[in-house]
């Protein structure tokens, strides 16, 4: 409830046994998140379908999000989509937007692989690690 953050950067990377997607946040407070596989990606506010490369889509919703004019932090501006950086399971990350207190990024994957999510501080980051399939 105390968070007012803006996604300032998104990065992908490869590690032994998994791919990592990092959403870096600027602003104040501790953000929340909801991460889950969805059947279809839709844009916030518009409801328009979004194209995400891959066999599955992992939707990352950051709560406690604010617009740049509220946080003083420039919002991430791309590239959109962001291709996986030498990744095995993550195909790309599509940035949806910030709308009514939430920011959404959509991670394309080669299938519904197990994942974990956690936060880091200094700077504030929401980290999604997607396990290798097979």
Render pLDDT for 34-58 as a digit per residue (tens, 0 to 9).
999 999 999 998 999 999 999 999 9
pLDDT (0 to 100) of residue 85:
85
SS3 68: helix
pLDDT (0 to 100) of residue 97:
87
SS3 70: helix
Give mean pLDDT, residues 7-19: 97
CB-based contacts of 89, cutoff 8 Å, min separation 6: 18, 19, 109, 110, 111, 113, 130, 131, 132, 133
Give mean pLDDT, residues 5-32: 97
pLDDT (0 to 100) of residue 69:
95
Distances (CA, A) of 130 to 5, 24, 32: 24, 17, 19
The 10s digit of each residue's pLDDT in 60-109 is 999 999 999 999 999 999 999 999 989 999 999 999 989 999 999 999 99
CA distance 109 to 123: 26
């Amino acid at each position: 409830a105390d968070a007012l953050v803006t996604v300032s950067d998104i990065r992908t990377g490869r590690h032994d046994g998994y791919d990592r997607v990092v959403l870096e946040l600027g602003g104040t407070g501790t953000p929340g998140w909801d991460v889950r596989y969805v059947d279809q990606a839709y844009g916030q506010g518009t409801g328009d379908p979004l194209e995400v490369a891959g066999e599955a889509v992992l939707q990352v919703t950051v709560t406690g999000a604010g617009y740049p004019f509220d946080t003083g932090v420039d919002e991430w501006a791309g590239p959109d989509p962001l291709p996986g950086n030498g990744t095995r399971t993550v195909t790309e990350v599509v940035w949806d937007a910030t709308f009514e207190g939430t920011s959404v990024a959509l991670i394309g994957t080669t299938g519904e692989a197990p994942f974990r999510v956690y936060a880091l501080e200094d700077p504030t980051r929401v980290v999604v690690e997607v396990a290798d399939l097979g």
